[in-house]
Amino acid sequence: MKKLINAPENVVKEALAGMAIAHADLIDVHFDPDYIVRKGAPHNKVGVISGGGSGHEPMHGGFVGYGMLDAACPGAVFTSPVPDQMLAATKAVNGGKGVLHIVKNYTGDVMNFEMAAELAAAEGIEVASVVTNDDVAVENSTWTAGRRGVGVTVLLEKIVGAAAEAGADLATCKAIAERVNAHGRSMGMALTPCTVPQAGKPGFELAEDEMEVGIGIHGEPGRRREKLAPARDIAEMLAGPILDDLPFQSGDAVLAFVNGMGGTPLIELYLMYNELARILKDRNITIARSLVGNYITSLEMAGVSFTLLRLDDEMIKLWDAPVHTPALRWGM
């Protein structure tokens, strides 16, 4: 195992300490329980929080800031945060207008956020929750009942964060979040496995000439394992199931999100974006907005995921609204 670490058990806390110093103008980091909170919280608006296991950076902590999340709860690598973290973060961002929990559909995340919401309600805080489940690859997986929550989570956090910033109430924020989740679909693939620091060895094995199609963001098995193929063929393997699932239709306007799994160079992500754009053009689907880069990763895994979100006018307006976080910034 070759990693830039001191001790495996200290990776998350030391990374959080680094984030706190690097982005002291945007965030504060609280330890024991661990959470990242937007500078100046609580604000006079609906609070928006999310969280999950570490190792997917910049999700979620990199999205804390103006126009996106108010707080994020990082668990151990690939491990759900605990209810104490979520409750503390909920209380920290509660400005009296309620708090929205954005939860990816993994069993531990769902259970612990539910528990935190109940504890917060007992303290008089109104909490609403939305669960993302956009991965079309498999129905049930290692840590999931139902579909996994993946790339749509990033888009949802930006869009709902903008709505909350603009003064939308809790019920409206929840409804927008549910609409984004309902209109988005994702699928990914891996060229290599990744190594959790405390495990010390790769989570699975892939031969030099193999790829895993439909991989999860923790290395969960996908739809199938097959021989490595040209990028254009891989793009078809990912885009086809996404387009057919919603289904997306001729004339739709979409946000096209090509995401790296952590170890894929940007040159390859743009090459894959070109292939996706070709597929969408052939189906008469317009790319109205785009995002390309490493935003929801799996440590050093090499691979890519596609996410398509069918846009409406309100989503476009909220996507374009100003945002200023460690990992996403425009308009200010």
Q: Which residues are catalytic?
A: 56, 218
Distance CA 137, CA 222 (A): 6
The encoded tokens of residue 164 equal: 């909350």
Taking only Cα atoms into account, the Rg of the chain, rounded to an integer number of angstroms, comes to 19
- Asked if 52 and 80 touch (Cβ cutoff 8 Å), the reply is yes
Nearest alpha carbon to residue 120 among 110, 128, 111: 128
In the chain, which ranges are continuous DSSP H helix?
11-22, 83-93, 107-122, 152-165, 170-182, 231-245, 266-282, 313-320
How far, CA to CA in Å, does 27 sit from each of 18, 37, 284? 12, 6, 42
Cβ of 277: how many Cβ atoms within 10 Å? 16
* Side chain identity at residue 181, one-letter code: N
Geometric angle at alpha carbon 281, from 280 and 285, rounded to 5°: 60
Kindly report the length of the chain.
332
Nearest alpha carbon to residue 258 among 328, 219, 307: 307
Distance CA 155, CA 288 (A): 14
